[in-house]
Amino acid sequence: MKNVVQSVLFVLAVLTVTQTWAYSPIDTLPKFEFTAEEIPAYCDKVLAAERAEIAKITAKNLSEVTMQDIEQLEDLDADTTVQLYPVYLIANASTDENIRKNGFECHKKWSAQSIENANNEKIFNIVKAVKQSSTFSSLSLQDQKLVNDYYTGFQNSGMTIEDEKLREEVKAAQKKLSILTTQFSENINNARLKLTFTEKEMDGIPENIKQSFARDSESNYIVTTSFNSDFKPFMQYANDDNARKRLYLAYVNRANPVEQNETNNLKVLKEILALRLFIANSLGHKTYVDMQFATGAKMAPSVATVLTFLKELRTSLEEGLEEENNARKKIKCQMLSTCSGDQWKDLELNAWEVPYYNNIWKQQLTNVDPEEIKQYFPIRHVTKAMFEIYEELLGIRIRKVEGQYVWHESVELYEVAEAADGTTIGYFYLDLFPRDGKYQHAAIFPTQKRREFRSAAAYIDGKTYQKGDVRYPAVVMLANFPAPIIKDGIETTPSLLPHDNVTTFFHEFGHIMHGVLSKTKHYSQEGTSVARDFVEAPSQMLENWVWKKESLQRLSKHYQTGQVFPDALLQNMIKSAELGNASHYTYQIFLAETDLLFHLAEGPVNTSKWFNERYQRLMKTNQPEGSNRVASFGHLTGYAVGYYGYLWSKVFAEDMFTRFAGDNLFSPTVGMSYRKEILEKGGSEDAMTLIKNFLGREPNQDAFLKTVLKQ
């Protein structure tokens, strides 16, 4: 079972009850309302029911097994998600420390039981019986893909290992790995550190930003390690080099506190890499990378192909990176009383200096101030305009839903419906601002995927569904955009988005649309259940709209004057973005290669030392002594051997955007084609097939190279 064995979705029994209810789309929303005390018992009840139901399913005679039995297992996956995924969501979003703690403990139990199911020989025999049956070849391609994915998952869990002792060791390693990956993420979520800075140390920071910071009893400013709201603007504007270095070290070490020597993320990561290597070796693979590529679940044909792609791209960027670093060194020289003339050539760049000098350099050449730009992007207007663009392109309507439970007062719920007749398609939640203990980046959580009921009735948490009824998708966006400035309970300044946050918003909302609009036969092929190195492409394509004059005129509205984004400022902003292009993509390549090379290692790796040395070698910039930035590289868990996918998928994203060129930027015809050929089909077909069908031709790299290399 693909979802079970890969620890993504977990099997759970259908809870049969006698209560009935009046079916309506809004009533299918998942349950998010839990107290900390309720979670352990709820979680245990769900998992106990799962064990009982699996026993019933596996009692069937193998000679009688059919594709319907596979579908029944998949339906259980769907029911698990709607009951336990919301617990995982609030573990990442709640302000209650005990809810977060119990939520993550539930997730660990869930993962452990998933691994037990992944090693359940009776379940494997059901999948194997269908795959080896005489009727398998006559199944639809979607059915065959489902069975093959499940079978491959069981292989990766160790079910084909003949040595029973080794198989048990692999299972134990998988359980330990699941606990550690959750711990790694939890450590990052909980690490929102607070530092204090004097008025002098705040010199250079614009007044409106300073006003957003709290003050302590001595009137010092309290600055946190929250990236968008605090860390980023401080690093861009603070003139005090030592103050920037102090905040930088706190930020990169936030998930690796010295006082937590046994649970800090460097130690956790070391164990994660060792366990992954052990599992891969036990399954007959030289490295964990080899194991991941052997499944055939990626677009890229081999890791060698990926490494060549990354190296060639990095080589093409080297000249541009050198030019950009030289420009930063010249700025540094201008600001040092001891430097003049050509002495800039002898200077070195440090990681805590780059954002600061970068900001000055860009302002000198383009007269673009990020603080000026964000005044044109108040989040309420951006949200409204973004909705309208997606509505126009995809033939949908979005409306806010009131009166439903949300886990924080700032969270908003929306319905997506067909523009033509108002038929409900699905729902999404927006949770956009930082809080203590909350997930610290921007991501989509598919708490409930679309499910059309195949059986006459199913009873989940007291809800009765008839055959053909639909449980509607409900997707959650967690982000950490700058919050509104509140003084004495009154909003004095709305949330204003830097342009890169507008890009992130558009990108993540693309994932929401992928999750909500997907409509496949099989639940496990819905939405973003696609090849890991393709999953970003649909959203990356949509980022292009935030750089086009026509869409920026709709997305922008100065929060004070109401003016739209000026043409001259747009041209300067584009030029400003291009100034750091080589650095941006070289850093993405560095992270992608870091992920791959850690997992290509055939023994222990000193991850922090390796990260810092390679960073200096590729970026030509020093990390400070004591830096452990790798400890907060969250993608090493959920995106293991997959970070390269951001660049790999961008090749296809830029190519797909060519269909919207010219007068087609807001074309409903092209937009509907995109919806039908890419979004709705989810992972039901091979990604390359989807791309070819949408483009009407073979894809190529031309648009990608033009974007990245400015050719």
Q: What is the pLDDT of residues 665-684, one digit of tens each?
A: 999 999 999 999 999 999 99
Active-site hit among 50, 74, 508, 536? 508
Q: Using the structure block, give the residue that is written with the tokens 């966006």.
A: 477
- Is the pLDDT at 29 greater than 60? The verdict is yes
Phi, psi of 648 (to 5 degrees): -60, -45
At residue 10, the pLDDT reads 33
Distance of CA 461 to the CA centre of its chain: 29
Contact 394, 671 (CB under 8 A): yes
Predicted confidence at residue 19, as pLDDT, reads: 39
- Inter-residue contact 202 to 142 (CB < 8 Å): no
Residue with token string 């009046």: 22
Confidence check: pLDDT of 507 > 50: yes
Q: Give 62-87 pLDDT, tens digit per residue.
A: 999 999 999 989 988 888 888 999 99
What was the pLDDT predicted at 710?
74
Looking at residues 498-508, what average pLDDT do you find? 95
**pLDDT for the residue 349:** 97
Check residue 260 and give its pLDDT: 60
pLDDT digits (tens, 9 = 90+) for 307-321: 999 999 999 999 999
Model confidence at 52: pLDDT above 90: no
Report residue 255 as tokens.
Answer: 């998930």
Q: How far apart are CA 388 and CA 396, in angstroms?
A: 9
511-570 per-position pLDDT tens digit: 999 999 999 999 899 999 999 899 999 999 999 999 999 999 999 999 999 999 999 999
- For this structure, is 64 an active site residue? no
pLDDT in tens, 462-481: 677 788 888 899 999 999 99
Q: Most distant CA pair in the chain: distance in Å?
A: 84
Q: pLDDT above 90 covers what percent of the chain?
A: 79
CA-to-CA distance for 396 and 321, rounded, in angstroms?
43
Q: Which residues contact 235 (CB under 8 A, 6 or more apart)?
A: 244, 247, 248, 352, 355, 356
Flag the least confident range among 210-214, 574-578, 656-660: 574-578
What is the rounded average pLDDT of the residues 490-512?
A: 95
285 within 8 A of 158, measured Cβ to Cβ? no
Q: 284: which DSSP letter? A: T
Q: For the residues 351-372, what does the mean pLDDT come to?
A: 92
- Helix, strand, coil: what percent of the chain each, to 5? 55, 10, 35
Res. 290 pLDDT band, cuts 50 70 90: very high
Residues 6+ apart with CB under 8 A from 81: 9, 10, 446, 447, 448, 449
- pTM above 0.85? yes
Q: Phi then psi for 80, rounded to 5 degrees? A: -60, -50
Confidence grade of residue 4 (pLDDT, cut at 50, 70, 90): very low
Residue 64: per-residue pLDDT? 93
Alpha-carbon distance of 630 to 104, in angstroms, equals 22
Say what the pLDDT of residue 681 is: 96
Query: Which pair of tokens denotes residue 108?
Result: 């660990």
pLDDT digits over 90-128, tens only?
999 999 999 999 999 999 999 999 999 999 999 999 999
What is the Cα–Cα distance from 557 to 375, expressed in whole angstroms?
8
- Residue 461 confidence (pLDDT): 63
Q: What residue has token string 């009765």?
A: 464
417 C-beta neighbours (distance < 10 Å), count: 17
Look up residue 170 and give its two tokens: 């692999």
